[in-house]
């Protein structure tokens, strides 16, 4: 009695390759947005450190404040350099049956989601991103409270088209 079930072995050499050049890079304006976010975070943290230094200046030697400030500036410079270098590793890919996003310089990450697993899709714009005409797409799958795939740094028009495309791929039962 034959059931028609098949579960053949697929060797790694026979798997389809995803080439880095297949990925569409995020918008170059997104790098500016990353820098602005770093600047805002740096100013807030810097003000907190300055406030603590002023508050504790009689109890802490002066070299501690200068060392902390130097370390803080070094961390800011390091994060800006890493942000710039890793920016060029970001990209998304839409294929026949799935969507993928890659990122990371130090810790490379590739996330791919088949269309049949998508539950819903969000288009999000922060205040600054809205002024720059950028958006991010968040893709959610069943069984997860958090987003499973996020693609930042998309021009608003592209993000809208991707959202509509992915929403169209969701089965009618899932859209209710």
The pLDDT tens digits of the residues spanning 11-37 come to 888 877 777 778 999 999 999 999 999
Residue 56 is assigned to a structural domain of this protein: yes
Q: Is 4 left (phi over 0), alpha (psi -120 to 50) or beta?
A: left
Q: Are 110 and 46 within one domain?
A: no
Q: What is the pLDDT of residue 69?
A: 83
Q: What is the pLDDT of residue 2?
A: 62
Q: What is the pLDDT of residue 89?
A: 92
Residues of the chain short of pLDDT 50, as ranges, are: 176
Number of domains comprising the chain: 2
Q: What is the pLDDT of residue 154?
A: 97
Could you give the CA distance from residue 105 to residue 91 in angstroms, rounded to a whole number?
A: 12
Residue 17 is assigned to a structural domain of this protein: no
Q: Are 69 and 133 within one domain?
A: no
Q: Are 99 and 161 within one domain?
A: yes
Domain housing 143: 92-170
Residue ending a domain, among 72, 87, 102, is: 87
DSSP bridge pairs for 100: 93, 112
Q: Are 106 and 148 within one domain?
A: yes
Q: Are 68 and 116 in contact (CB under 8 A)?
A: no
Q: What is the pLDDT of residue 49?
A: 85
Q: What is the pLDDT of residue 176?
A: 47
């Amino acid at each position: 009695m034959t059931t028609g079930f098949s579960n053949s072995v697929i060797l790694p050499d026979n798997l389809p390759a995803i080439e880095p050049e297949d990925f569409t890079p995020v918008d170059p304006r997104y790098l500016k947005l990353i820098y602005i976010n770093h600047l805002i975070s740096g100013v807030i943290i810097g003000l907190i450190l300055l406030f603590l230094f002023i508050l504790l200046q009689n109890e802490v030697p002066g070299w501690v404040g200068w060392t902390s400030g130097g370390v803080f500036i070094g961390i800011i410079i390091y994060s800006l350099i890493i942000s710039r270098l890793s920016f060029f590793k970001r990209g998304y890919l839409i294929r026949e049956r799935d969507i993928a996003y890659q990122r990371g310089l130090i810790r490379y990450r590739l996330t791919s989601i088949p269309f049949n697993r998508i539950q819903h899709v969000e288009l999000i714009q922060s205040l600054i991103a809205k002024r720059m005409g950028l958006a991010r797409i968040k893709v959610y799958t069943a069984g997860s409270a958090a987003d499973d795939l996020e693609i930042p740094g998309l021009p608003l028009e592209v993000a809208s088209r991707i959202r509509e495309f992915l929403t169209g791929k969701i089965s009618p039962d899932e859209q209710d």
